[in-house]
Structures are given as C-alpha cells and as structure tokens.
Amino acid sequence: MLGLSGFLLLIGLPIHALAHDDPASLRTQEGPVDCPALLSIRTLKVIPATKGTALVTPAGSRFRHFAMRPHSFGENGKYSTTVYYSTKSVAPGKASVVVGLFHGMNAEISHGGSMFNMMQALTKAEKNIEPGSALDQMRKKTPRVQDIYAEAPDLPGCGNNSDVTPLDTYEGIIDYYTQYVKDLRARAPNRPFVAVGFCYSSGFLIEVSRRNPGLIDGLILTGLIVPERELGLEFAIGVESEMYRSGSLAKNPAVQTRADPAYGNLPWGNQDQPTGTTPTLLLIGQKDPFQSESAKSVFQAWTKKNPSNLKYLEVKGGGHGVLGPIEGHPNGFVTVLTEVNRMLKRVQK
C-alpha cells in the first residue's frame, strides 16, 4: 500500500535500491545482467545498459532489478505476467527451496521488482554497504540462504502488466494466486515452496493456503493487514488516504488495481489460528504506519494459540516492509535475515 517516494526508510528498503547515476553504470546486486534488447513498456520503462538495466518508475526513481521474460499460466494462458528473476539463480527443479515473491497493491512499489530487491538483500552480500559500518559488520556474521530459486510476478493491473485487465473480484484474485503457485510448483516438482507476501498479498496468500492444504510449505508475511475492518483494513486505508492528501505519497499511474473491497471479504480475520499448520513467519515493522496497536495484539494472540507453527516478530525500526537493511538498525536486519533463513531451512526437512 505504501508508496516508494519519500518512504524508503519507513518500509525498510535499502537506500542503495535507488540510483540516480547514469543507467549505463547500473549493476544489480549480483553483478551484470544480460539485457539484449530495448524493452518498451507502457508505464514502467526498461532501459538497456552496458552492464545491467535500470527500471524507471513514473515518478522517475531508478532501482536495480533483474532481467525479465513473459510468462503465462492458468487455463489456456488465462493470465499474463512479467517475472523478474535472477540470471544466476539455481534452476527451479534443482533448488533447495523455491520462493514466490508477491508484491502489495495500490502504490508505487506495486510491482515484482521491488520484491526482488527485498529478497536479494537477504540472500546475497550487499555490495553498497559502507565498509566497516555497523551493518557491514553484522551482515558478515550472518549466513546467506543458498541455492534458492525465486520469482516475483507483476500482478495484472500493476507494474509492467498495467495493460492487463486488473484483478477486481475476490474470487478472481484468489484464483490468480492459486494458479500462479500451482504453475510454479509444476515447474519445480518435489521442491519445497515458500510464499513471501507483502501487504495485501500476505492476506491473500493466507487464504490460498487455507483453501489448498499442502500447496504452500511455508509462509513469510510482511506488512500484513488484518481484513477485519475496524482493526486493520479501515485503519490502513485511512492512513494511506492522509498520506495522499498531504502529498507525501505520489499516486502511481502504473497501478490500476484497488483491492480494498476484495481484501475486506477475506474470511479469516476473526479466526484465532488463520495460518493453521502451515509454518509461518509474520514480520511487522515497529514503525509500520499502517498497523494499529489493536492489530498487533491480534498477531500476538495468534502466536500464543499456535506457537509451533506461527512466529511473530516486531522488527525494531522497521516500517511497512522489513525485508532489507533498516537504516540505523543493523540488529533488526540480522534478526529478519536469521528468521527467514530458519524458515527456508525448516521447509527443506
């Protein structure tokens, strides 16, 4: 839900995720990325560079990302999406863990590239952290996840797929997530699968897991909004509306999807164990403006009733997103990294 402009620190994305230098000098955190041809996209423009590429949002911010390819799934190719992927990752069928990265909706970071920036901070050593800094020291002590394969699709109506009919019905959204996960699992048979959700995607993934026991082996949920209106949804919408009115967020023409009505239909908001027996890591930033104290109390109650399968962490200094270095809070980054590693290791057993 949160926009990118002016809110990097709040959401916990690494500062170096943005670059304002010459696109020809841009590199991904993994090194050069092959971009053989100019890709002209309606609202998010990909610029080929000598080494790597730069994705330019409508607001003009550049961030590092990965090569892209078209991908269709569902009955008769019902859905069309753009998948961001690492050119150096292990093949899906040989990965120790397969990861699906699902972005939020309604704002400037509503595209798969933002999720890959978050995940790469957890799996690869940062190249742009100041040597000798507290964060540099902490990350050197923390092992990275190895041999994973991850995909981050652009949802219909968002990002590079803004020209695709947006998801605008509850069942349509649930069907999209379900079909995508089934397709990814079919391409990686017998591999454990972890779904990583941000904001609204976290909530929809809970329902997909509830409806399809065994489809998702592990959930990592960040910025989760409680669909029960007074506790979560209406509070979050109110905060976002104030930010738009104050000018602190810039509405993004690349996002046509308004998932609020569908999100309010999620049935698990009042349940005491919504994630059931699916191993779940729930990460909420201590400074997340979209979370009420009442919602945090709900998360704590879930954990007390389901301690063997659900772990809830409030991340010190974190905002709406916490999968990445948090300025001034290196311990928070290491805590998140350690818990994500632990989850990915758990599903391998």
Q: pLDDT tens digits for 71-93?
A: 888 888 888 888 877 655 678 88
**In the chain, where are the structural domains located?**
8-346
E-strand spans in 38-172?
45-48, 53-56, 62-64, 68-73, 79-84, 97-102, 148-153
Residues ≥6 apart with Cβ < 8 Å to 276: 209, 210, 213, 306, 309
- The pLDDT of residue 184 is 92
- The pLDDT of residue 102 is 93
- The pLDDT of residue 4 is 31
Strands 193-198 and 280-285, by their bridges, are unpaired
Burial of 267 (0-12, 13-18, 19+ CB in 10 A): exposed
- The pLDDT of residue 159 is 73
- The pLDDT of residue 324 is 74
Residues of the chain with pLDDT under 70: 1-69, 86-89, 107-109, 117-130, 134-135, 138-139, 141-146, 247-257
CATH 3.60.15.10 at 8-346, yes or no? no
Provide the whole-model pTM.
0.80
- The pLDDT of residue 208 is 98
Question: 127: closest CA among 19, 5, 3?
Answer: 19
Residue pLDDT, tens place only, 106-151? 766 677 877 876 666 566 555 556 677 766 776 676 666 667 888 8
- The pLDDT of residue 133 is 72
